[in-house]
Structure 1
Amino acid sequence: MTKKLHLGLIREEKVPHDNRVAFTPLQCKWIMTHYPGVTITVQPSTGRCFSDEEYRTAGVQLAEDLSDCEVLLGIKEIPTDKLLAGKTYLFFSHTKKKQPHNRGMLQAILEKNITLIDYECLVHEDGQRILGFGFFAGVVGAHNGLLAYGERTGTFKFKRVHECRDFRELITHYFGVKIPPIKIVATGSGRVTAGILEVMGLLGIKYIPPEEFLINSYAYPVYTQLKAGELYLRKTDKTYSREDFHAHPENYDCKFLPYVTASDILMNGIYWDKNIEPLFSWADLAKDNFRIRVIADITDDAQGSIPCNLGDGTIEEPVYDVNRFTQQKLPPFHEEGVTMMCVGNLPNELPRDASQYFGDQLMKFVFDELMKGDSKMIAKATIAKGGRLTEEYAYLGEYVEGK
C-alpha cells in the first residue's frame, strides 16, 4: 500500500528575509512522480529564489492555507504567530545550544503540540551531519573575503555574488582576474572549508603546506589549510583526538598564533564551541606583527573563535572594521582596523544553487526515513513532540522555562 503524505513548503517569514527553499520545483516534481502517495503544496512567496510560476510550471500546487499538510518544511526559524498547531515541522530552529532569541519560539512549539525535527540534528550513524548549506557559505565567504581585500588595498575588483544568477555565472567572472601575491590561511575541514577551497582552485591560488607557508614568501597568491588536528593539541601530550577534542575541548591549546604574522587574509571555517580556545586574543590583535588585514569569519560565531567578530554584517553591507587597539567597530577599510566579513546567511547570495544542493541531500538521505514513521534518524533529530521535549533534548527544559 502506498503511504500518503501531504507536504507543505512554507514561506520564509523571519527577518532578515531568507530566499532559500527545502525543495526546488524540479525536486518537488521528482518526488511526486516517484512517490505517488506524496502531495506537495507550496505557500506563495515573492521573495523565494524560485518563483511561484516555476513551481506551477513543474506541476506543484500553490496555496496560502497549508492546514491540510501533515509535514511542513522551511529553512529558518518561524515567527510564533505563523506556527500551525499539531503539525510536524522541519527547519533550522537554532535552539539546541540554548540560543536566547529562540526561547519564545520553542515555548510556542510546545504549547501548540508541534513536532519539531531540526535539520541540524539529522546525522548519519557515525555522527556526521547530513544537511547544511556550508559549502555555499564557504564559496560566498571566500569570495567576499577576497573582494574586501581587493577593496581595502585597491589591487583588484570582484563582482558581488548576489549580482550573479547562479554559481556558474560567478565562475565566469573569475576568468582573467589577477590576484596579487597574497597569503591566505583557511581553517577547518568540513563543508565550509570545502567551499573555500573550491574558490581557491577556481582562481588558481596555489596550496602550500603549513610549515612552508609560515616561513616562505611567494611571487604569486598562495593559501594553506589548517585542520583541527593542526590547530589544536592536547595540553598534556601534544596529540589530537577528534572524539576527545569534541568531548573535552578545554584540554586543548590552540596553535594558530604563528599564522597571524604570516598571513594577509584569514578564512575561518572551523567548528567552535564556547570551551574551545579562540584562534588569537585581542592582545595579539594589537601587536605590531599582526599582519592579517581581512578576516572572513564564515562560521560566524560572535566573539567566538575570532574574538573581534562583533556581530553580523548583511549581504548588502557585509564588512566592517574593528579597531585593533580600542576594540570598537569602525567603517570599512580604516587605517587602524582589521576588516571583518561576518554574515550569518551567506548562502542567500547563491540561493538557487544552495537550495538545489540542500534538497538533493534531503531527498537522498532523509526523505525515505521521514516516510517510515519509525525512523531512528528522525527520532534522534526530534526536539519536541506531543507538547514535550523528547528525552534526547530534555536538557533544554531549564532553557524553555527561562532559568
Structure 2
Amino acid sequence: GERFLALGFSTPLLHIGSAFMYPSLEEARRAVALAGEAIRTKGLPEALCPFTAVFTGTGNVSRGALDIFRLLPFEMVEPGQLPGICSRTKDSHKLYLSIATAEHMVRRRDGGPFDKESYYSEPGRYESVFQDTVLPYSTAIVNGMYWDERFPRLFTYDDLNRHVVNGNDKLLGVCDITCDADGSVPTRQFTSIEQPFFIFNALTEETSESLDEPGVLFHAVDHLPSELPREASEHFGNCLLPFLPSLTAAHAPLVRGKGNTEALPPPVRGAVVAEGGQLAKDFWYISQLRSVNERADAEAAAAGAAEDKAVSFHGPHNVSQPPAAVKLDFSGHLFDTKVVNRILDTVEAARARVEILNIEVGSTNDHESTMAVLLIAQSQERLLEVVEQVKEVAE
C-alpha cells in the first residue's frame, strides 16, 4: 500500500500494516479482510488493473501466503490465461490469482512434452520459460517454491532489464518467501522486519530503500514467523507435542558415544546432530571438514611465515609457488551415500585444502543435495591430480 501511494495511487492496501503491528494473527487477518471488502466495493485504481498475483510452489510456504491472499476478492486463473487477461480485462474490483508449478515454468530443450518425474530427476534437460510466459503478465510474484542449483531460475535481473527496455514494466513487486540468495528469483540482499523492502531499478541495476524510487519492490525477510511470535510458537509446539511421549522415554546417554536415537521417532531421529557427546553418524563429515580446514589453516600460517622469512633474507625469487584453486560442484545423494565423507578423505590424504562454498541438503529422501567447494592445492599440477582423485570417488 505504501509503495502504491509513492507511485501516486491510493488503495485499500494502504490500511494493512506489517504483521508485527497486530496483537494476533486473527487481527491481521481482519485487517486484510477489511481491505478486501473495500476493493470489492470501491475497486483499485484502473492504472493498476488487471492486478495479477502469481504464486510459485504448492508446499507449506506458499499455502500460508495463499491463506492470507484468499481474504481478498480474487478470481483463480491458469498461468496460460494471463496474457489474455492483461490484454482485455480492466476489472478493478478483484485480483487475479495464478499458481505456477513446474509445468508452467520450464520446457524440454529437445521440444518433448513436460514430464514432472523427468524434470525432477534430470532438470538439465529443461530450460526456463517463466521469464517470457508468466513474468511479463504479473503485477506481483510471491515465490514459495523449493529450488536448488540443479534447476533453471525463474528469471534474472537481465530478464527484468529486457522487459523494461521493451516497455513492459507491469511487474511491481516480488515477495521472496524462500529467501534463497540469488536463487530461483534474483534476490541478492535480504531485508529486515524494520526495513522489509528494497527497490531494484532494472535500467540502472541500482537498489534503494526509498519507496519513491522507480523499479521493482523486493521483499525478502528470512525470519517472517517472528513477526507473529505467539502463533509461531504455538504452531511449533503443536507440531512437537505428538513426539513428547517418545522423547521422554528416550533418555539422553550417560556414556560418550552410546547414543539412543533408535528409540526416537524417525522425524526426530533424522534431526539429531549430536549424541553421547559426539556428532551423530550422519554428521561425521563435519569433524572431517573441520580437521581438513584446521590443518590447512596451520599449513597456510606456516607457509606464510616461511614466505616472510624468504622475502626478508633471500629476496622474492625464493618465494614458493602460489597455490592453485578450482571450484567444484557436486549433486546427488551426497550424505546418505557418504560421498561427502569420501571426498573429504581424498582431499585430506592428498594434503590439499577444501573450503565449502555452499551446501543445500535435500529436504527429503527424494530430493538430491548439492555442494559447491573450493579445492586448493600447492600447485596447478598438484591441483589437477587431486581433482581427478576427487572425481573418481564422487562417481
2:160 aligned partner? 285
Residue aligned with 1:306, SS: coil
- Alpha-carbon separation, structure 2, partners of 1:398 and 1:324: 44
1:267 aligns with 2:142: yes
Matches within 5 A, 1:202-221: 202-217=71-86, 218=89, 219=91, 220-221=94-95
Deviation at 1:293, TM superposition (A): 1.4
CA contact (8 A) 1:320 1:331 kept: yes
- Alpha-carbon separation, structure 2, partners of 1:332 and 1:264: 20
- Alpha-carbon separation, structure 2, partners of 1:290 and 1:238: 31
1:161 aligned partner? 19
Deviation at 1:275, TM superposition (A): 2.3
Change (3 A) 1:269 1:215: same
- Alpha-carbon separation, structure 2, partners of 1:188 and 1:230: 11
CA contact (8 A) 1:330 1:337 kept: no
What is the letter of the counterpart of residue 30 of structure 2?
T
Counterpart selection for 2:54 from 179, 182, 185: 185
Matches within 5 A, 1:90-239: 148-149=3-4, 152=7, 154-156=9-11, 157=14, 158-177=16-35, 178-179=38-39, 180=44, 181=49, 182-217=51-86, 218=89, 219=91, 220-236=94-110, 237-239=112-114
Deviation at 1:386, TM superposition (A): 3.7
TM-score by length of 1: 0.57
- Alpha-carbon separation, structure 2, partners of 1:333 and 1:267: 19
1:295 aligned partner? 174
Structure 2 alignment gaps of length 5 or more = 251-262, 294-353, 355-395
How many residues are aligned here? 255
Residue aligned with 2:225, SS: helix
- Alpha-carbon separation, structure 1, partners of 2:200 and 2:30: 33
Change (3 A) 1:378 1:200: closer
What is the letter of the counterpart of residue 230 of structure 2?
R
Residue aligned with 2:70, SS: helix
1:88 aligned partner? none
What is the letter of the counterpart of residue 215 of structure 2?
G
What is the letter of the counterpart of residue 154 of structure 1?
F
2:129 aligned partner? 255
CA contact (8 A) 1:261 1:292 kept: yes
What is the letter of the counterpart of residue 216 of structure 2?
V
CA contact (8 A) 1:186 1:269 kept: yes
Residue aligned with 1:354, SS: helix
Counterpart selection for 1:391 from 276, 281, 284: 281
Change (3 A) 1:267 1:371: same
Counterpart selection for 1:371 from 225, 232, 248: 248
Residue aligned with 2:232, SS: helix
2:151 aligned partner? 276
- Alpha-carbon separation, structure 2, partners of 1:150 and 1:396: 50
Deviations 1:25-56 (CA, angstroms, capped at 9, x unpaired): xxxxxxxxxxxxxxxxxxxxxxxxxxxxxxxx
Counterpart selection for 2:272 from 382, 388, 392: 382
2:387 aligned partner? none
Residue aligned with 2:273, SS: strand
Deviations 1:104-158 (CA, angstroms, capped at 9, x unpaired): xxxxxxxxxxxxxxxxxxxxxxxxxxxxxxxxxxxxxxxxxx6645655533202
What is the letter of the counterpart of residue 104 of structure 2?
E
Query: Please, what is the CA RMSD of the aligned residues?
Result: 2.5
Higher helix share: 2
Deviation at 1:361, TM superposition (A): 1.3
Deviation at 1:233, TM superposition (A): 4.5
What is the letter of the counterpart of residue 379 of structure 1?
R
Deviations 1:253-274 (CA, angstroms, capped at 9, x unpaired): 2231121210111111111212
What is the letter of the counterpart of residue 337 of structure 1?
G
Percent identical across equivalent pairs?
A: 25
1:342 aligns with 2:220: yes
- RCO (CA 8 Å, sep 6+): is it higher in 1 or 2? 1
Residue aligned with 1:314, SS: coil
What is the letter of the counterpart of residue 179 of structure 2?
D
CA contact (8 A) 1:228 1:270 kept: no
- Alpha-carbon separation, structure 1, partners of 2:71 and 2:159: 33
1:331 aligns with 2:215: no
Deviation at 1:226, TM superposition (A): 0.9
2:183 aligned partner? 304
- Alpha-carbon separation, structure 1, partners of 2:173 and 2:23: 26
